[in-house]
Amino acid sequence: MKHFRRLVMRVLPFAMLAILVAGSTMAAEPTLSVSQAIELGLRQNISLKIAELNNFSAQIAYEKVVAGNPTPVALRAAQINWEKAQDAFQAAKSDVVISVLGSYVALQNAAIDLQIKQKQADLALRDWERTKILVEKGTAGILDELQAQLNYTSAANNLAKAEDSLEESRTAFANMLGIDELPPLSEDNPLLVPDIDISVAEALEIALERSLTIKDKEVALELARIQRTQDELLGLSRADDRLSENNLKLAELDLAKARADLTETVISSYNALVQLKKALAMAQDALEMEKRKYDIVRKQYDAGLKTPSEVESAEIALLSAEREVLNAHRAYVLSWLSFQRVLGNDIDLSGVVRPDDSKN
């Protein structure tokens, strides 16, 4: 018995410490910030690791070409091949950043949607219960009760679907980040509104100048011209001469098509980005209106002029407006980031995502 008492006295302080630590952890559960999620995604992504190795191999291949005293055209071709590998690496990195950021905000949006579905189910349940009372009093019919029950069943099903969808999305996001369990995400909108600080003409000029596809086609055209000059000096047969001439025309058309395709992509992407920014502004205006309407309804409720159900309906409308803003904000930012890749820019999240002030 004495031995047991001594054992308890030795173990008790450690047990109390463990309880305190656990309580402290529960009281201040850390959240996963956007920057932390992106860092995990970059570490986990296999495609990015492959692109990094390919970039390293392309650098070695370029250095070997340089060491071999190449012709100017061969040197330029080697440079472009290495630039392609670098661009592929940056593209893979950008894909991870855009995917993680999009999934993070989509989960935040799904959480808001779950709140809406919960309130809608609560509201439908109260309406059903109130209708049953009215039926008992004879002021409502059985069809009214059945309709109210149907409305509640539909709202409850929508709530269950939203719960399942959110859980599936959380599991998929955790898998994307390479973690077993996803910590809570921040409830604050992490996104800023980056400016469209260039005109479509400026964007087109930048994209055409930086495009590796166009540079590659230019090298191919230069090689085709050299080959055509050599063929003319050789005095080929009529058929071979025609083939040589066609090869040159084909290289010219390939370059022209690449320029036309890029021009179309830049213009359409730019116009879509402008429209998404307008949609975001409209969603923000609608949110401000819903905030004012909610404040009015709340004051009327406090004055005894509105029912709890009317207040909850106003809350649902407000949450719906917040969800629409976050959805529009996400669409604009992801489009803006994709547009940077069209221009050949590396992804820079400063001015796109709020600074990470999370505490680990």
Predicted local confidence at residue 28, as pLDDT: 55
Scanning the chain, the segments in alpha helix (DSSP H) are: 2-27, 34-44, 46-67, 72-137, 142-177, 200-210, 212-234, 238-302, 308-342
Contact predicate 99/41, CB 8 Å: yes
pLDDT per position as a tens digit, 320-341: 999 999 999 999 999 999 999 9
In the block, tokens 């305190």 appear at: 20
Tell me the pLDDT of the chain averaged across its residues: 91
In order of 130, 139, 157, 280, 317, the CA distances from 124 in angstroms are: 10, 19, 12, 31, 15
Contact predicate 97/337, CB 8 Å: yes
Asked if residue 243 has pLDDT above 90, the reply is yes
Contact predicate 97/347, CB 8 Å: yes
Mean pLDDT to the nearest integer, 345-355 = 91
Predicted local confidence at residue 17, as pLDDT: 34
Question: How would DSSP label each residue in 180-248?
Answer: SSPPPBPSS--B------S-HHHHHHHHHHH-HHHHHHHHHHHHHHHHHHHHHHHT--HHHHHHHHHHH
| Of 191, 246, 177, the residue nearest 39 (C-alpha) | 177
CA distance from start to end of the chain: 44
Share of the chain above pLDDT 70, in %: 91
Mean pLDDT to the nearest integer, 73-101 = 93
| Count, residues in the chain | 360
Q: From 1.10.340.30, 2.40.50.140, 3.30.300.30, 1.20.1600.10, which CATH number describes the 30-187 domain?
A: 1.20.1600.10
**Cα separation of 151 and 154, whole Å?**
5
**Cα separation of 312 and 226, whole Å?**
76
Mean pLDDT to the nearest integer, 301-313 = 95
Helices 72-137 & 212-234, crossing angle to 10 degrees?
140
Q: What is the chain's Cα-based Rg?
A: 31
Give the model's confidence band at 235: pLDDT under 50 very low, under 70 low, under 90 confident, else very high. confident
pTM here is 0.86
Least confidently predicted of 70-79, 145-154, 162-171, 265-274: 70-79
Predicted local confidence at residue 304, as pLDDT: 95
CB atoms within 10 A of CB 177: 23
Predicted local confidence at residue 252, as pLDDT: 98
Asked if residue 6 has pLDDT above 80, the reply is no
Asked if residue 8 has pLDDT above 80, the reply is no
Contact predicate 259/290, CB 8 Å: no
Share of the chain above pLDDT 90, in %: 85
pLDDT per position as a tens digit, 256-300: 999 999 999 999 999 999 999 999 999 999 999 999 999 999 999
* Beta partners for residue 108, in sequence order: none
**Cα separation of 62 and 79, whole Å?**
7
User: What one-character DSSP code corresponds to residue 178?
Assistant: T
Asked if residue 7 has pLDDT above 90, the reply is no
* Beta partners for residue 191, in sequence order: 353
Asked if residue 357 has pLDDT above 70, the reply is no
Phi-psi region of 306 (alpha: psi -120 to 50; beta: other; left: phi over 0): beta
